[in-house]
Amino acid sequence: MVDAGIAFAAMNAVGLVAFAAAGALKGRAAGLDLFGIVVLGFLTALGGGTIRDLLVGRVPTSLQSNVEVLFAAFGIVLAVIVSIRLRDDPRETPALLLSDAVGLAAFAATGAAVGIETGLTLFGIVVVATLTGVGGGSLSDLLLVRVPAVLREDFYATPAVVGGIVAWVAARAGVDGGTTTLLAAGAVLTLRLGALRYDWRLPTL
């Protein structure tokens, strides 16, 4: 059986690469110069974790450790190379959508874990889990002066919300931290893949 810690680290790495690539491709599609493309890649990959750290009063890990930065840089380079070679936009390819779902799950789960550690309420845990998952993409939308896609388009943030609730329930039930994180990530991934496969949507009023 795969070690839980390694499984989770792998999911997080996949997410960093996918988020960074998606952000860089978004910047290119918006006609930004190379600097803007790199900024959007890093912001999309590292923005959620940075919001998480600021909310709980920590100096952002993205500014203190090179591990996440290197994965994000790899995603940006990959996106730039693919962009130049293919001359079209791979943002809707299954590979990127799947990697993005893996990233959403890993990010929301780390957000929930940090919220639990900090002693937040259920509401606080859900907010931090959700912002860690969708914050990077939303910040990059705001920089491009767009309503964040999560507010408008699809069943993307809802899995992160559910992941936060799952983590809170597990922690309350005395489940250990590692298992709690994996349960939350599993819930997010399942719901997100279901939403992609079956085109789930929330109602409007």
Of 11, 14, 102, 128, which one interacts with a second copy (CB under 8 A)? Answer: 128
How far out from the chain centre does Cα 180 lie? 18
Residues 31 to 60: which contact a second copy by CB under 8 A?
31-37, 39-40, 54-60
Find out whether 117 and 104 touch, Cβ atoms under 8 Å.
Answer: no
Half-sphere exposure of 167 (CA within 13 A, CB side): 39
* Minimum gap (Å) between residue 154 Cβ and a second copy: 9
Q: Does 16 bind a second copy (CB under 8 A)?
A: no
Q: Does 152 bind a second copy (CB under 8 A)?
A: yes
Sign of CA dihedral 29, 156, 64, 74: negative
Q: Does 9 bind a second copy (CB under 8 A)?
A: no
List phi, psi (to 5°) of 72: -65, -45
List phi, psi (to 5°) of 119: 80, 30
* Minimum gap (Å) between residue 136 Cβ and a second copy: 14
Of 1, 2, 6, 145, which one interacts with a second copy (CB under 8 A)? Answer: 145
- With a CB cutoff of 8 Å and minimum separation 6, the contacts of 49 are 60, 61, 62, 68, 107, 110, 132, 136
Of 6, 66, 94, 198, which one interacts with a second copy (CB under 8 A)? Answer: 66
Angle at 128 between CA 194 and CA 55, to 5 degrees: 160
Q: Does 143 bind a second copy (CB under 8 A)?
A: yes
Give residues in contact with a second copy (CB under 8 A). 27-28, 30-37, 39-40, 54-60, 62-66, 69, 80, 83-84, 115, 118-124, 127-128, 142-148, 150-152, 157-158, 161, 201-205
